[in-house]
């Protein structure tokens, strides 16, 4: 089989919001998480300095604030936010449920010499 499929609702929820999909999808270079955030929910502030993963947060439902290095960034449905590995980030949800797709991957051109080839990438 050349693909793997999983429904995030069938993946155990962590921290009362996060559905980590990388393990059930057996991904090798990308992390994918769906976060369904209850009203008033806040994630734990963290960074990815240790694993050098950059992240993109895509808000697919609702409104929320993502705090990057102590700077609040207001987000609404359809917004995408890139976050570098060393920056501290935290999701702070408002008064209504919101939903994010969070994507993480090693920075392009990591020190190990393996660069991702992006020419011809259609996506």
Residue 22, helix vs strand vs coil: helix
* d(C-alpha 46, C-alpha 85), whole Å: 10
Task: Note the pLDDT of residue 90.
Answer: 96
> Among all chains, which residue has been given the structure tokens 């990591």?
110
* Count of helix runs (H) and strand runs (E) in the chain: 1, 8
Q: Which residues contact 13 (CB under 8 A, 6 or more apart)?
A: 19, 36
Whole-model pTM: value is 0.83
Task: Note the pLDDT of residue 108.
Answer: 61
> Among all chains, which residue has been given the structure tokens 């050098």?
52
Q: What is the pLDDT of residues 24-59, one digit of tens each?
A: 999 988 999 999 999 999 999 999 989 889 999 999
| Other residues' Cβ atoms within 10 Å of the Cβ of residue 10 | 8
H/E run at residue 25: helix 22-25
Largest CA distance in the chain: 45
């Amino acid at each position: 089989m050349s693909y793997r499929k999983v429904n995030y609702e069938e993946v155990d929820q962590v921290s009362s919001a996060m559905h980590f999909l990388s393990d059930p999808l057996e991904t090798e270079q990308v992390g994918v998480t769906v976060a369904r955030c209850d009203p008033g929910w806040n994630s734990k502030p963290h960074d990815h300095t240790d694993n050098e993963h950059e992240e993109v947060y895509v808000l697919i439902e609702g409104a929320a604030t993502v705090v990057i290095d102590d700077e609040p960034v207001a987000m609404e449905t359809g917004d995408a936010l890139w976050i570098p590995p060393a920056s501290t980030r935290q999701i702070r949800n408002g008064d209504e449920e919101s939903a994010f797709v969070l994507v993480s991957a090693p920075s392009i051109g990591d020190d190990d010499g393996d660069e991702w080839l992006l020419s011809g990438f259609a996506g």
